[in-house]
Structure 1
Amino acid sequence: MQRHLNLGILAHVDAGKTSLTERLLLDAGVIDRLGSVDDGDTQTDSLALERQRGITIKSAVVSFAVGDLTVNLIDTPGHPDFIAEVERVLSVLDGAVLVVSAVEGVQAQTRILMRALRRLRIPTLLFANKIDRSGARSGGLLDEIAAKLTPAVVAAGTVREPGARTASFHPYGTPSGDPAALAERLAEADDAFLAAYLADERAALAPDRLRAEFARQVGRARLHPLYFGSAITGAGVAELTRAVRELLPAGGGDPDGPLSGTIFKIERGPAGEKVAYVRLFGGTLRTRDRLLLQGREAKVTALAVFDRGSAAPRGELPAGRIGKVWGLEAARIGDTLGAARTTEARHFAPPTLETVVVPGRQAERGALNVALTQLAEQDPLIGLRQDDVRQETSVSLYGEVQKEVIQATLASEYGLDVTFRETTTICVERPAGTGSAVEFNGKAPNPFLATVGLRVDPAPPGSGVRFRLGVSLGAMPYAFFKAVEDTVLETLTQGLYGWQVADCTVTMTHSGYSPRQSHAHARFDKAMSSTGADFRGLTPLVLMAALRRAGTRVHEPIHRFRLELPADTLGAVLPALARVRAVPYGMGATVLEGEIPAGRVHELHLELPTLTRGEGVLESAFERYEPVTGPPPARPRTDHNPLDRKEYLLHVLRRV
């Protein structure tokens, strides 16, 4: 019976994961020659910009067979600007291979990826690539991985002639080469094996028992075997492939059970049609099946299933497999098909930078909006912010490289020449206290046929925005309550300073409406009766009045950082950290740890090579939001400005 495994290849940029993917495909007979990242002819880097830059930007899926196992291999980006692409892949993996450079060792992105893999308990094999390169290490690298990535690493063999073109990997007869030491590692991770080891040490040390227990613990993400090799020469790849087949758990799921799947990628076909990449966890999806997505019914018009190469047309997609689905025009990344699975909603922080996209010609503004909307479909963490007042569109980003990718994609796929304004930091606002406001139906200056009272209270950091009722649900039709709730959430996307308002509870304290009325013998007259529009129009005025009384504080995103540098460059680096408002709180001879405003990370990246002779390695990740010191920055509003009653009513009612 054929088994299926959905395998992710992850690494820091330039560690060699795309080259490893090529070698795996070559060994499996899927391709007949080894592609080169430098030459831009690899199987998985299909975008023109990927070939030009030699980096992976979009995840790509390709399939190959190893005996009775069909592997759907997903090559993911390594550059931190595209961490959102990796995030989506993690939710559909059965196992992973994390590639580490035997020359550069553990790098910034390697740590971030391993933390996510361990947190999600994804079974992971480690592959130390580039053992044929000058400066390659084996024993020292094992110690570094144990210290910086995971203490649960176990070397699966030894390297001969590291740093030479003839470097080779030789696996141990038992997984770690030392049965007693391995038994101790297994006993530390599992109480049942510990009991068996104490009861009968000889039986526990039997090679077959050790191998079986080792495979079980690797499959449960308790241990991570380390293989050494070279994607270029092929050394160690056969042993890695064998480990993928024997140690990683195949994808499960009942094809006859209820439908359950996740959309993890969206692309556009040659005719502009939407194509959804789906991992199915249960049930079977068939052509002409009807699904409910975003409240709309969609019909599956075509299917392609990844199997021994690229995706091939099929009539059905069974559980445990990955396929491409046509016909789901309302689909968005992260949507579930059928029954939802309980998973962590987000593994990585949202983008903290923003820039305005400026079209080369004003006549192309409409085409630019369409193109950016389609790009946001493919990457939901590219948030779009439309400013109808200034006729501008902003996009949120992880970094400057992502800006270049968006620019190149707009030029190559949509024929649009764009520029960007200076990148700014995305802040948030939090209520400083409690504030309330109310306007009553029929009492000046309220021009709406509605009564709305709201109270804003601060909530713990990270709790988000919550709307609750402080009045009886039967006090008025539910549709009016719903109109208030939806408008509250929409209005709080811009606070007193124009930033998203976070971490607060909004309570509706007063409600009232005018029942459906009409003049004698006349039809319904909305001028005498409340409608949803009255509540949608009044709510922003009341909410902003309450928020103004509560007050808000602007918070900027703060990243934690870890900087490795030569000891003799410390004196030059410390003043640079002060210039970018970085605060070290852990300092060693060669390692600095601390915090830095997210908006200054790129500036520090640019300075480091000069300050550290190119040897400085900076790792940073979102930590939290902190109140801004000094005058709070403001962002221009894109709505009708309910903070200015006259301006707002002129827009909404065309009168004051």
Structure 2
Amino acid sequence: MGIVAHVDAGKTSLTERLLYAAGVVDRVGRVDDGNTRTDSMDLERKRGITIRSAVVSFTLGDLPVNLIDTPGHSDFIAEVERALSVLDGAVLVISAVEGVQPQTRLLMRTLDRLRIPTLLFVNKIDRVGARYDDLLADIRRLLTPAAVPMASVAELGTRAASVELLDVRRAELGELLAERNDAFLERYLEDADVDHAGELCRQVARSAVHPVYFGSAMTGVGVPELIGGIRTWLPRATGSPDDELRARVFKVERVDAGQKLASARILSGTLAARTPVAVHPVDGPQYQTRPSGIEVYGDGARRPADRVEAGQIVALRGLKSIRIGDQLGVRTQQVGQLFAPPTLETVVSARDRVRLFQALTQLAEQDPLIRVRKADDITVSLYGEVQKEVIASLLASEYGVEVTFSETTPIHVERLDGVGAAVRTMADSLWTAGVGFRVSPVAEGIEYVLEVELGALPRAFHTAIEETVRQTLHQGLCGWEIPAVRVELTHTEYDSAGTVAADFRRLVPLVLMQAVAEAGTTVLEPLNHFELDVPTDTVSRILAHVAEHRGVVTQATQTHVEGTIPAATTHAFESHLPTLTRGEAVLTTTFHSHQPVAGPPPTRPRTDGNPLNEKQYLLHLNRSV
């Protein structure tokens, strides 16, 4: 089960309250006091926010629960994405005061898309300004029309606030369930005594209906009712220990002496320590390995285990090459990327560039969306400014590297303008290989298609070609990634006596980039969607401020402004808001789309030796050798 929310809605406080109810802790920790169980990093306790997902296991009655507490700040959305890939159910926390916020909407859309059964918990009902009826209306309008209140609230907005469960058999719920199941509708019309609870359970399991609970994580009011809802409505894990092993890695961290510790969900089957297991990387060929040790989460801690089975979350040691997203045992369908990749990057500087690069590379293992590039400078990708502080803190505390950052700049991408093709035969190649490609634009993703006979080339060579194609597309004509393209392999040649995979790895960038150059590319910049709440008397100034930063307003009221703004100007736009609004502005931004850059396209230093210049590329290869 995952607990997800917009930042400051009370996720970690709710986790503490659940741990207390389960008897794992004897007192409820407070985020403000820095003594919560799941926020273990010094920086998490200092800032009062969750940065890395944390796993804790306990039992609620006869129900074993593996709970994943996720970050709420949008800068750490990648942590949330990895947790969602292993959940049976979720609790989405909403503040009764702040209500539905942009991150709340993003999370609900994603949970719905993945069909993850979800309960909603409206927190902070004891706070001044807490809402019930109009908040339910907002939830139904902005999140899901199938929200079902499971409790009423008395003395809302006071320290004496309390909840009382509503009757599951009430007409409002029956009608909602009947709207979503024709078979139930027939039974409902014939017999008012039909099984409401059973039907609600089935509809929650397929993410068609979402029960809404109310309470306060700080005082504990409403939490027993939520626990009852978790036990009753969220579906239990169905994987069998007798099936083939299927497991997914969702977290990797460095522990004692730099050893990797990989957290994985066992979806089905069993896994034993020191026995061989197949690993299916996110990208790359399958390989065999064996965990040197296994620890299982239980009763609020981790304990060693020789054997684990379906339904458990485990920590695996001794898997040197393991990465987030890798699968163990039998491969299952990969969950595609749920949230937009980072749109910003910054140059990182330190006295010892070698140690800095090694440390950043290890951090990128724990967060694959933080890409590290080493050209003239070392750069890392970011979701926002808060990540700079986190990265600096981690580098200093865990690796002893003090760093400084340059100004954050946007990460552009390139889009193909048309179709291009190129071929190099063995006769005109410097290596014992020949290859040809055709490239064309697509809406999203990389489509790699074979237009040659699969058996005409050894499988190892096909693997080398595809891996090199995907790597080459990280840098287009101007040095930016080409994230959406169809690549057709149209020609292959090799010598059975002399060709090696390295021949194809060296040749592919030259031919592929020649095809891309023929197609041409346009450089695009990232565009953010913003929502801004401001005092009424400042709206006119804000509208002018949006225009100054190349933003476009799509909706405006007396206190609320929405629109789009380039990522390049978002930080400057935000930094002036306190002055313009007397410090009362509330701004949230999320990635929206990409748009063509106005004026000369920006370029990025290359790290691949520049296959667009054959002489320069060959010199780069010789230096590498």
Cα deviation, residue 586, structure 1? 3.5
1:268 aligns with 2:250: no
Name the counterpart of 1:118: 112
8 Å Cα contact 1:383/1:395 also seen in 2: yes
* Structure 2: distance between partners of 1:565 and 1:119: 32
Q: What corresponds to 2:389 in structure 1?
A: 404
Distance 1:164 1:488 in 2: 61
Q: Which amino acid aligns with 1:403?
A: K
Q: Distance in 1 between matches of 2:499 and 2:400?
A: 48
Question: How much has 1:567 moved relative to structure 2?
Answer: 4.2
Over aligned residue pairs, what C-alpha RMSD do you find? Answer: 2.4
- Asked whether 1:487 is paired with 2:468, we answer yes
Amino acid aligned to 1:251 = A
Match of 1:33 in 2: 27
Q: Report the count of equivalent residues.
A: 619
2:129 counterpart letter in structure 1:
G
Does residue 500 in structure 1 map to residue 485 in structure 2? no
In structure 2, C-alpha distance between the alignment counterparts of 1:480 and 1:507, rounded to whole Å: 16
Structure 1 residues 197 and 512, CA gap change in structure 2 (3 angstroms): closer
- Does 2:370 match 1:374? no
Query: Helix, strand or coil for the counterpart of 1:340?
Result: coil
Match of 1:584, as an amino acid? V
Q: CA deviation at 1:615?
A: 4.6
Instruction: After TM superposition, list the pairs within 5 Å mapping 1:527-538 onto structure 2.
Output: 531-538=500-507
Q: Distance in 1 between matches of 2:262 and 2:255?
A: 10
Residue 256 of structure 1 aligns with an amino acid whose one-letter code is: D
Which residue type is aligned with residue 233 of structure 2?
A: L
Q: Is the 8 A contact 1:298 1:329 kept in 2?
A: no
Out of 291-300 and 156-165, give the one that drifted further. 291-300
Q: In the aligned structure 2, how far is the partner of 1:286 from the partner of 1:478?
A: 31
How many angstroms does 1:505 deviate by? 3.2
SS at match of 2:193: helix
The whole-number CA distance in structure 2 between the counterparts of 1:627 and 1:566 is 34
Q: Which amino acid aligns with 1:458?
A: S
Larger deviation: 486-495 or 251-260? 486-495
Alpha-carbon distance in 1 for matches of 2:606, 2:334:
35
Tell me how far 1:120 sits from its aligned partner: 1.4
> What letter corresponds to residue 538 of structure 2 in structure 1?
T
Compared CA separation, residues 452 and 29, structure 1 to 2 (3 A): closer
Distance in 1, Cα, partners of 2:561 & 2:528:
14
Out of 209, 230, 234, the residue aligned to residue 223 of structure 1 is 209
1:383 matches 2:374: no
Q: How far off is 1:542 after superposition?
A: 3.2
Name the SS of the counterpart of 2:258 in structure 1.
Answer: coil
Change (3 A) 1:369 1:133: same
Aligned to 1:203: 193
Secondary structure of the structure 2 residue equivalent to 1:366: helix
Change (3 A) 1:604 1:192: farther
Report deviation, 1:166: 1.6
Distance 1:481 1:186 in 2: 52
Measure how far apart 1:535 and its partner are.
4.0
Alignment of 1:34-53 (within 5 A): 34-53=28-47
How far did residue 212 of structure 1 move? 2.6
Measured after TM superposition, the shift of residue 325 of structure 1 is: 1.5
The alpha-carbon deviation at position 614 of structure 1 amounts to 4.5
CA change 1:640–1:314 in 2 (3 A) is same
Q: Does 1:355 align with 2:326?
A: no
* Maintained 8 Å contact 1:480/1:532: yes
Give the conservation status (yes or no) of the 8 Å contact 1:498–1:637: yes
Deviation of the 1:588 alpha carbon? 4.0
Q: Tell me, yes or no, if structure 1 residue 89 matches structure 2 residue 80.
A: no
Equivalent residue number for residue 417 of structure 1:
402
Larger radius of gyration: 1
C-alpha distance in 2 between matches for 1:645 and 1:407:
39
Structure 2 CA distance for aligned equivalents of residues 25 and 515 of structure 1: 63
Contact 1:254 1:319 in 2 (8 A): yes
Q: 1:136 aligns with which of 123, 130, 138?
A: 130
2:448 paired with 1:466? yes
Whether the aligned pair in 2 keeps the contact of 1:108 and 1:618 (CA below 8 Å) is no
Measured after TM superposition, the shift of residue 11 of structure 1 is 1.1
Distance 1:301 1:579, change over 3 A: same
Q: 1:171 to 1:274 in 2, by over 3 A?
A: same
The whole-number CA distance in structure 1 between the counterparts of 2:131 and 2:505 is 65
Contact kept in structure 2, 1:296 and 1:330, CA below 8 Å: no
Q: Cα offset for 1:501?
A: 2.3
Paired AA for residue 528 in structure 2: H
Deviation, 1:600, is 2.9
Distance 1:149 1:515 in 2: 59
Please list every run of 5 or more consecutive structure 1 residues that lacks an aligned counterpart in the other structure: 1-6, 517-528
Q: Distance in 2 between matches of 1:570 and 1:257?
A: 61
Counterpart in 1 of 2:324?
333
Change (3 A) 1:535 1:588: same
Q: Which secondary structure does the structure 2 equivalent of 1:203 belong to?
A: coil
Distance 1:541 1:618, change over 3 A: same
User: What corresponds to 1:519 in structure 2?
Assistant: none
CA gap 1:140/1:299 in 2 versus in 1, 3 angstroms: same
1:364-387 CA distance string (max 9 Å, x none) = 222222211211111111112222
Contact 2:446 2:487 in 1 (8 A): no
State whether residues 258 and 339 of structure 1, in contact with CA within 8 Å, keep that contact through their aligned partners in structure 2: yes
Q: Does 1:253 align with 2:243?
A: no
Identity across matched positions, percent: 54
**In structure 2, distance between residues paired with 1:453 and 1:271:** 47
Instruction: Give, in whole Å, the separation in 2 of the partners of 1:480 and 1:254.
Output: 38
Call closer, same or farther: CA 1:48–1:508 in 2, change over 3 Å. Answer: same
* In structure 2, C-alpha distance between the alignment counterparts of 1:60 and 1:113, rounded to whole Å: 18
Distance between the aligned counterparts of 1:190 and 1:343, measured in 2?
A: 30
